[in-house]
Structure 1
Amino acid sequence: MKAYWRLTWAQLLLFARNKNTIIWSLLLPIFMMLALGTFLGDGTGTDQFQLNVTVADEDDTSYSRNLVKELSKTGGLNVSETSRASGLAQVKQGNAEVFVLLKKGMGKRLSTEGKAGKSEPLVELYLDQSNPAVAEIGSTVIREEVDRFNKEAVNYQPPVETKLVNIQTRPLGYIDFLVPGILSLMILSNNLNGVAATIASWRERGILRRMQGTPLKSSTFIAGQITARVLLNGLQAVTVLLVGYFVFDVHVYGSWMLLLMFILLGTLTFMSIGFIIASLARTPESASPIAGLVTFPMIFVGGIFFPVRDLPGLLQPLVKAIPIGYLTDALRGVMNEGATLPQLWVPATVLGAWLLISFTIATLTFRWDVK
């Protein structure tokens, strides 16, 4: 037992003294969360797009001025007034996505309540079609706003109306989706990549061989590694959650014990996979590429930065097979939805199966020395 605690303490000291560990395992995830959370949306559920729109009001009536005000209030639109020539130039130069021209006569036509008959359009949109996504969003938002403004001006009463009902019980934004993904990425990288590189390095340098020559049991060595990394992951997870809470107001709506349980389960699973890679690799130089080959696909198909349902159908079988997706879903379920263990029995079962299989393989393939 004394050897176990000494090994655990020694490993924690190695973590604290290794600048790369602090930078890559703690500061980098926090930086990613701050950068993505700032640029893509916060926890308040605000718009995740922002279009620069220039407007030239050549009509200059109460109707046209009210339309400009309504456009300015529309979420996602950054509206500024300018002249026709300046507005066209800004779109051509890429300084604005949409230029709206309100032509003279718009107010007069609205005052007749549509009785003047059909004639030329008095609202023109100028867009750069080389960016179809932005052009489609901009034209759709502005046309809907103009259509609503037209109906209000002529007092249009639709015979059939629709009602929007929000069933979201909590104010969730992209940052609430992102933070559990950052936790999964941190657990994956710290344990799979970290264990593979560390164990392969110690084996090549003869550290494991010298340990083998002592009364130290392999089970005690592995237990010390597991304990140290579990403590490190717990500290990192709490740090990330605290930054998310104080900077973006991200909450954990579920059980903290259940959240820590899945962090522990993910840590053990990816540590076991890391031990397998360390056993397959003969040198640290070969361990890192093998670990990268395993982790790189997981980062993009594990639901870390975007929902897995957005992935092509061809990748869905891979998503259902790898453990990172289930870990991310479980963390997201606990944090965002307040899910309980019975509701998360599928990810818990899959992660447990991965842990059992990978730990068994790691035990059978582990070696102290380079063969």
Structure 2
Amino acid sequence: MPEPYSQMTAIWAIARASLKAILRSPSAVIFSIFFPLVFILVFGFIGNSSGPVYRIALTKGCDTANPVLDSLKQLNNIRIVKYQDSASLESDLVKGRITGVIDIRKVGDAASKSDYQVYFHATTASADKFATFLPLLENTLTRIDRNRFQGIKTTGTVEPVIRQVRKYRTIDFILPGQLGFSMLSAGVFGVAFLFFNLRQQLVIKRFFATPVSKAAIILGEGLSRVIFQLITAVVIIGMGYFAFDFTLVNGWQTFAEIMVLSFIALLVFMGFGFIVSGLAKNESSIPPLANIVTLPQFLLAGTFFSIEAFPSWLQPLCRILPLTYFNDAMRKISFEGAGLLDCWPQIGVLIIWGIIVYLAAIKIFRWE
């Protein structure tokens, strides 16, 4: 009596063959490794170049009825943020998520020429932001003085209070975005072209003549993509860490958690590829369909710059994209030292997206 056919053997055989094909494909290497590395090199060499958007918090006892704060609120690049508790404020200040905290006090000394004392609390985590915000604050006071008191410095004086913490560099923001860029590109374009070509070349039809199950075909091909992209992730992170001091707060533990997060995200992104593959009528229709999925996420999900730079009406759209949650979780883990459990809101949204995407893929995906 013949032994039952081993589906695991089939999965590994398909995965090995598919991985060899991926490694021999110039387009796979270019889109998954070359493009992200080019962006990392460019942003790594040019330094910080993000737009001057300043997120400012107010202390609990800050005087809010004064011309200084009124003038700051009129500036388009100032965002006044509110916190419910001091712990959250301190956490964001130390992590560089906000530029600083302003404390405006009315001067009670009759001998003083200034009406207000402005204390600006910041940390070196947002060094580049507060370095440009301080002159802006000084210029605001000067403008008020010139208008009201003919250039005499009477409205207020600024006293900066800067604490030394870990510096947040451009590469700490850019690299997670480029890793997400690589993952999403491979998951959508790679899977879509792969399964469409397998159908067109009747490879899947020939598989059906063998004892290999449909699940084994998908798992085998999917496994090859996962292996290749995790190798890509190692290359991207290694380049950032050794060439530009990309922050891995807890060393190997942080690296391992990034790999787990990348694995989860890649599975979700591959679901979009299955949908595009099922919708495509011919090979030329794949790029437009894939770009509908990927391009908005590349531009709006915090890949190249913070979504805080977008208008407030656009930010809710940014916050529903799956790539946004991968980028947020990546930055929390790598720079802030958060664990996977600490990122359960971001991972939870990714899993919800995965469920929705694969339910749609099951309805749309075609074998022939």
**TM-score normalised by L of structure 1:** 0.66
Aligned AA (1:266) = A
Task: Tell me which of 185, 189, 193 is aligned to 2:189.
Answer: 193
Aligned AA (2:23) = A
Structure 2 contact 275–360 (Cα < 8 Å) conserved: yes
Structure 2 contact 32–229 (Cα < 8 Å) conserved: no
Query: Residues 104-115 of structure 1 correspond to what in structure 2 (within 5 A)?
Result: none
Cα deviation for residue 266 of structure 1 reads 0.7
Distance 1:159 1:32, change over 3 A: closer
Instruction: Specify the alignment match of 2:245 in structure 1.
Output: 249
Distance 1:366 1:164, change over 3 A: same
Instruction: Specify the alignment match of 2:208 in structure 1.
Output: 212
Instruction: Specify the alignment match of 1:162 in structure 2.
Output: 159
Structure 1 contact 266–327 (Cα < 8 Å) conserved: yes
Structure 1 contact 212–368 (Cα < 8 Å) conserved: no
Instruction: Specify the alignment match of 2:340 in structure 1.
Output: 341
Distance 1:243 1:263, change over 3 A: same
Answer yes or no: is 1:271 the counterpart of 2:277.
no
Cα deviation for residue 298 of structure 1 reads 0.7
CA RMSD of aligned residues (A): 2.6
Q: In the aligned structure 2, how far is the partner of 1:273 from the partner of 1:170?
A: 38
Cα deviation for residue 171 of structure 1 reads 1.9
Q: In the aligned structure 1, how far is the partner of 2:163 from the partner of 2:229?
A: 37
Instruction: Specify the alignment match of 1:232 in structure 2.
Output: 228
Distance 1:165 1:7, change over 3 A: same
Q: In the aligned structure 2, how far is the partner of 1:358 from the partner of 1:310?
A: 29
Could you give the per-residue CA deviations for residues 228-268 of structure 1, whole angstroms, max 9, x where no partner exists? 11111111111111111121111211523321111011100
Q: In the aligned structure 1, how far is the partner of 2:280 from the partner of 2:315?
A: 30
Answer yes or no: is 1:4 the counterpart of 2:3.
no
Structure 2 contact 172–335 (Cα < 8 Å) conserved: yes
Q: In the aligned structure 1, how far is the partner of 2:364 from the partner of 2:50?
A: 48
SS of structure 1 residue aligned to 2:233: helix
Q: In the aligned structure 2, how far is the partner of 1:212 from the partner of 1:332?
A: 44
Q: Give the share of equivalent positions with the same residue, in percent.
A: 30
Instruction: Specify the alignment match of 1:301 in structure 2.
Output: 300
Cα deviation for residue 214 of structure 1 reads 2.3
Answer yes or no: is 1:353 the counterpart of 2:364.
no
Q: In the aligned structure 1, how far is the partner of 2:157 from the partner of 2:319?
A: 43
Could you give the per-residue CA deviations for residues 61-94 of structure 1, whole angstroms, max 9, x where no partner exists? xxxxxxxxxxxxxxxxxxxxxxxxxxxxxxxxxx
Cα deviation for residue 320 of structure 1 reads 2.0
Which 4+ stretches in 1 moved above 6 angstroms? none
Distance 1:163 1:229, change over 3 A: same
Larger mean Cα displacement after TM superposition, 158-167 or 14-23: 158-167
Q: In the aligned structure 2, how far is the partner of 1:332 from the partner of 1:163?
A: 28
Instruction: Specify the alignment match of 2:45 in structure 1.
Output: 38
Instruction: Specify the alignment match of 2:31 in structure 1.
Output: 24
Q: In the aligned structure 1, how far is the partner of 2:44 from the partner of 2:170?
A: 7
Q: In the aligned structure 2, how far is the partner of 1:301 from the partner of 1:161?
A: 36
Q: In the aligned structure 2, how far is the partner of 1:302 from the partner of 1:180?
A: 11
Q: In the aligned structure 2, how far is the partner of 1:213 from the partner of 1:358?
A: 29
Cα deviation for residue 211 of structure 1 reads 1.8
Q: In the aligned structure 1, how far is the partner of 2:357 from the partner of 2:201?
A: 25
Structure 1 contact 40–48 (Cα < 8 Å) conserved: no
Larger radius of gyration: 1
Cα deviation for residue 40 of structure 1 reads 3.2
**TM-score normalised by L of structure 2:** 0.67
SS of structure 2 residue aligned to 1:331: helix
Answer yes or no: is 1:315 the counterpart of 2:314.
yes
Cα deviation for residue 183 of structure 1 reads 0.5
Instruction: Specify the alignment match of 2:55 in structure 1.
Output: none
Cα deviation for residue 292 of structure 1 reads 1.0
Aligned AA (2:235) = T
Query: Residues 42-191 of structure 1 correspond to what in structure 2 (within 5 A)?
Result: 162-166=159-163, 169-191=165-187
Q: In the aligned structure 1, how far is the partner of 2:366 from the partner of 2:221?
A: 15
